[in-house]
Amino acid sequence: MKSKLKAIIVNSALLKKYILDYGFLTKFKLRLFFFNVVIGFLTGSKHGKYLFTHYTSRIIAGQNLHLEGSKKGTFASLVVSGGCYLQAGNGIKLGEGTIFAPNVSIISANHDMSRNDKVWLKQDAIEIGSDCWLGAGCIILPGVKLGNRCVVAAGAVVTKSFPDDGVVIGGVPAKVISKIDN
């Protein structure tokens, strides 16, 4: 039975892409993934090319969301972490292996309140390095750039960039709490 299942997965480009290439079998339970797909289908939820996000998460302007590398970990994290809000109006670039806890908000554009049509202000994109960990309920605001292996503490509000690799940031507004040793 296992060999038949493996043959089916390997011979199907779609199954191979989502199960083997994105590491779904090692990152989370398939039951949750299929539940998300069913809920998304029933509710008509569309996230553009990131259709398989958790059913309680939202991606705004998904065409401006870029996942770097093989997407292992990062893509799986989008599927399992509920309540996340990614507004990519000015662009969000996520490095390979970046993972989310629940209720992370990444907001790349503010509204111009002086205009009646409330269009998004043009600002720099948010760039988050590889192998970062975004803690529960953290908020990352427009123009922020984080280096590789950064940890953002739960509830932190990141208003400025931290380009150094291997730092732990937290607080409101966020500041460096400690460095991560190699």
- CB neighbour burial string for 13-49, b if at least 16 within 10 angstroms, e if fewer: eeeeebbeebbbeebeeeeebeebeeebeeeebebee
> Which of residues 28 and 107 earns the better pLDDT score?
107
Q: Tell me the two tokens of residue 44.
A: 């008509």
Q: Does 1 score more than 70 pLDDT?
A: no
What total of structural domains would you count in the chain?
A: 1
Give the pLDDT confidence score for residue 149 in this predicted structure: 93
* Catalytic residue selected from 47, 54, 66, 111: 111
Phi and psi at residue 28, in whole multiples of 5°? Answer: -165, 170
> Which of residues 137 and 10 earns the better pLDDT score?
137
Pick from 5-14, 101-110, 159-168, 173-182: least confident: 5-14
SS3 for 134?
Answer: strand
pLDDT tens-digit series, residues 17-76: 666 555 555 455 566 666 666 655 655 555 455 556 777 888 888 888 888 876 666 776
Determine whether 66 is an active site residue. no
Q: Output the average pLDDT for the chain.
A: 79
Domain residues for 78?
Answer: 2-179
What band does 118 get if pLDDT is binned at 50, 70 and 90?
low
Q: What is the mean pLDDT of residues 91-96?
A: 90
What band does 97 get if pLDDT is binned at 50, 70 and 90?
confident
What band does 153 get if pLDDT is binned at 50, 70 and 90?
very high
CATH number of the domain within which 68 lies: 2.160.10.10
State what percent of residues in the chain have pLDDT above 70. Answer: 68
